[in-house]
Amino acid sequence: MCDTMVALGNSTANGRVLFAKNSDRQPNECHIMVRVPRRKYPKGSKVKCTYIEVDQAEETYEVLLLKPHWIWGAEMGCNEFGLNIGNEAVFTKEPYAKDSLIGMDMLRIALERCKTGREALELLIELLERYGQGGNCGYEKPFTYHNSFLIADRSSAWVLETAGVYWAALQVKDIYSISNRLSIGREYDMAHPRLISHAIEKGWCRSNEDFDFSKCYSNKLITRLSGSQERQSCSLDILKKNKGNIKVETMINILRSHTPDYEKKPYRKSSVSSICMHAGFLYGDQTTGTYVVSLGAPDDVSVYSQNGLHENINTRVLDTYWITGSSAPCLSLFKPFWMIDGENMSFEEDNADAAVSYWKRQEEIHRCILEQRINADEYKKDRDQLEKSIMEKVAAADIGLMNSQQLSDIMEYTLYEEKKLQEKYLSRAKAKGPAPRGNLYFNHYWRKMNGNLHKS
């Protein structure tokens, strides 16, 4: 369960494309930040994805992957060219295939091999047609689904939604949001050549004029139970109300939003209908990772040199990311990230243990709040003050003219202050015993999750 949204430059306050995503997974499924450098491979090489091998490219681009720790692919991520992709589970009438490429694998392959959104769209379609899609994506329990993608670069965005081998694609005009449901209806820009004829053969519609992709291909029951209609409506409503003045803060507020019902008793019940999802019932999904990016305009090129003197030596386009690196964005700190040399916020792919440890540190805060061992309001007040000071620090800086060391210093400062905040509240929590305040099922669920988390 996830939500992804985009606002093109014609809808944002600063004219830049804004892209944002929550990754909703099973609660103990650590969501890690992995940075993979450019690499070259011998012709004819293969790459092992989560379940199958596919042909490898002779060169792959540098990527930042925000991913479940046990999956080869990623729920969301970006590359050195500012290409961003988010992946969603969707539930359709088409049968689920055996182990093949999963949507997260396709996302990573596209980021590693494409420079623009259109290139990524075409490659995702090619992968789907060549390998199909299929395989368990559940961590502690089986979970299979089909996939949709929101793809954005520094000037454009595309939506790609699939049902088995069938698909439809739509180019975004201004704002868009996807969730765990097919959203493309009668209007689309590209489609599988047999998309309509297959639906007619199945009896899902009578003619071309009667065809609606979402209505024909959706598994309506599972889609409804996913809470996706409420979540997608919430994100689109906020984007529409703020159209023309959408900011990073707008996206953050959307990603942190809860239903009014959940807000009556926060951290004491589950909420699959909240964009900031909380587990504790049958589905057991919650937000495990979050990010927002302000993409640099294609002509927004900064001149810099590694020694800090702004000489006409190298040029770059800077995209500013705001990443939690942890679950529950309503509790987490959004931290600035730039894909530069020397940063130490992300982790190497072969250092997954350290990445998992980083995720679990903030998760301890989350679990203590669920157990009422930390006062959520007090913690969020301190978090908000810290986050505000960091965002003001970034806003006041001339990011485009800062060298890599100066940008790294900002990230180092943020990580240091985050750790101080965590230690302050975890030290207090140790002095109190757990006192759950949810219903019996909720308390039982989280006791089980806590036991499993400490075992992993």
Other beta carbons within 10 angstroms of residue 253's beta carbon come to: 14
What tokens does 10 get? 């014609």
Dihedral class, residue 289 (left if φ above 0, else alpha if ψ from -120 to 50, else beta): beta
Write the DSSP symbol of residue 95: P
Q: Are 158 and 127 in contact (CB under 8 A)?
A: no
Measured CA to CA, the distance from residue 17 to residue 63 in angstroms comes to: 19
In which region does residue 436 sit, left (phi positive, over 0), alpha (psi from -120 to 50) or beta (all else)? Answer: beta
Identify the bridge partners of residue 24 per DSSP, sorted by sequence position. 287
Specify whether 234 is catalytic: no
Which of 2, 49, 78, 330 is labelled catalytic?
2
Distance between CA atoms of 323 and 255, rounded to whole angstroms? 12
Of 372, 370, 146, the C-alpha closest to 271 is 370
Q: What is the largest CA-CA distance in the chain?
A: 67
Return the closest-CA partner of residue 252 out of 332, 368, 344: 332
Give the separation between CA 174 and CA 242, rounded to whole angstroms: 12
DSSP for 256-315, written as a single string: T---HHHHHSTTSS-BTTSSS-B--SSS--EEEEEEEEEPPPTT--EEE-TTS---TTEE
Q: Where are the beta strands (DSSP E) in 115-185?
A: 146-152, 157-163, 166-171, 175-178
Q: CA-to-CA distance for 28 and 140, rounded, in angstroms?
A: 8
Q: Tell me the C-alpha distance between 184 and 190, whole Å.
A: 11
Catalytic residues: 2
